[in-house]
Amino acid sequence: MSTKKKSRAQKKIRVGVIFGGRSAEHEVSLVSAASIIKALDKRKYEIIPIGITPSGTWVSGPQVLALMKRRAPMGHLPACTLTADPSMPGLSPVHGSRRAGRRQKLDVVFPVLHGTFGEDGTIQGLLELAGIPYVGAGVLGSAVGMDKIVTKQLCEHAGIPVAPYLWFVNDRAGRKMRAMVPLIEQRLGYPAFVKPSNSGSSVGISKAHNRKELIAAIALAGAYDRKILIERGIERSREIEVSVLGNDEPVASVPGEIISSNEFYDYDAKYVDGKSRAVIPAALPRAVSRRVMDCAVRSYRAIDGAGMARVDFLVTKRSNAVYFNEINTIPGFTSISMYPKLWEASGIPYSRLLDRLIALALERHRTNLRLKRGFRPKSNWFAS
């Protein structure tokens, strides 16, 4: 093999791993990113860590992740930005910053930005403008998957069962809340789950058992989003999760069950107390497992998912009735996260899963490049 061919064969894929962000899930993102960076095969990939601070500043460098986890100052690191100009895809230095770096080309981006300004289609739109392949759902799938209300509406349209729910747009004066409380009690009853429509990791979510708790729960959810979702509590139910992988031909992992350490699977139960546990595969009848996996793929298609998603369900203990709960288009990748654990139980280990996700990102980008983006009219009617 010639030196030129050998060099080309050994060329690594430059992967920009973006983490942090302006989100209530900032800390979760840091832990997910650390796991991904550690597991990426260094023989195949050149990893470019890109951190976004809680205030929105972009910084890059080998120490970024460690400094962010310690909440240390990063003024000495090069500030950067991702330009929307596809003629120079990649990171560009912010001139005038204390220490300007150099422009870095990126072959693919792995966004590990849970929650707002990362999972909601915003970063995906920037990457589309920049012409850079990226892991995960596109603009539409990301935006829809982030909005719990729109997702439920699409799943209902696709014939996927969801728990009874109501929603409303909050107002500062509280008039909507006062009008909704009696309606919620009449149509849904207690217990009821109250959620900000656009949030993740159970941030801002409460379980209300009476009117006093309901009013407090609405106030809490309203601090995170203008759209409030209220769901009927499905009593005596199990929390079942399924991982989905793929673009146009998605496949589902085996289902897993979450045994929460709290009354419901809230932020503390997910990340803090370390007492929740996962049962993989979930002890479900075979027909119920197939139904959950089928609903997971159907919901993925309903929101135009791509790359990856984790889909959560409630399954009643007595009758095994299945209810769609929510979909997460940038699921957690921490050491305890269900998305990679479910695929490992399904035969795809963590490192190979990351390979597959990057391959899917590049595949989707190649497909999009074949689409016509311009149109030449018969005459220059616009020039007059």
Asked whether residue 128 is assigned to any structural domain, the reply reads yes
22 and 44 co-located in one domain: yes
pLDDT of residue 159: 96
The CATH number of the domain holding residue 182 is 3.30.1490.20
Q: Is there a single domain that holds both residue 208 and residue 293?
A: no
Are 105 and 190 members of one domain?
Answer: no
List, for residues 108-151, the tens digit of each pLDDT value.
Answer: 999 999 988 999 999 999 999 999 999 999 999 999 999 999 99
CA atoms of 134 and 83, how far apart (whole Å):
15
Domain identity same for 186 and 246? no
Mean pLDDT of the chain: 89
Which pLDDT score, from 0 to 100, does residue 198 have? 87
pTM of the entire structure?
Answer: 0.90
Q: In this structure, are 325 and 271 located in the same domain?
A: yes
Q: Is the separation of the CB atoms in 9 and 98 below 8 Å?
A: no
CB proximity list for 137: less than 8 A, separation 6 or greater:
124, 145, 303, 304, 305, 306, 307, 308, 309, 329
pLDDT above 90: percentage of residues in the chain: 67
Per-residue pLDDT of the chain (384 residues; tens, 9 = 90+): 455 554 444 689 999 999 999 988 899 899 999 999 999 999 999 999 999 999 898 999 888 999 999 988 877 777 888 888 888 778 888 765 444 456 788 999 999 999 889 999 999 999 999 999 999 999 999 999 999 999 999 999 999 999 999 999 987 656 778 888 999 999 999 999 999 998 765 778 999 999 999 999 999 999 889 999 999 999 899 999 999 999 999 999 999 999 876 655 555 555 555 667 889 999 999 999 999 999 999 999 999 999 999 999 999 999 999 999 999 999 999 878 999 999 999 999 999 999 999 999 999 999 999 988 888 888 888 876
Same domain, 329 and 252: yes
Tokens standing for residue 46: 């050149």
| 249 and 293 share one domain | yes
For residue 332, tell me if it sits in a domain: yes
Nearest to 312 by CA among 269, 256, 366: 256
Residues of 2-13 as b/e, b for ≥16 C-beta within 10 angstroms? Answer: eeeeeeeeeeeb
Do 362 and 241 share a structural domain? yes
Residues 6+ apart with CB under 8 A from 11: none
Q: 226 and 264: one domain?
A: no
Query: What is the domain count for the chain?
Result: 3
What angle do the packed helices 175-187 and 211-222 form, to 10 degrees?
A: 130
Q: What is the CATH number of the domain that holds 97?
A: 3.40.50.20
The tokens of 325 are what? Answer: 């709960």
Backbone dihedral region of 305: left (phi > 0), alpha (psi from -120 to 50 degrees) or beta? beta
Which residue range forms the structural domain that includes residue 51? Answer: 3-134
> Is residue 124 included in any domain, yes or no?
yes
Does residue 296 contact residue 241 with C-beta atoms inside 8 Å? no
Is the preceding peptide bond at 331 cis, omega within 30 degrees of 0? no
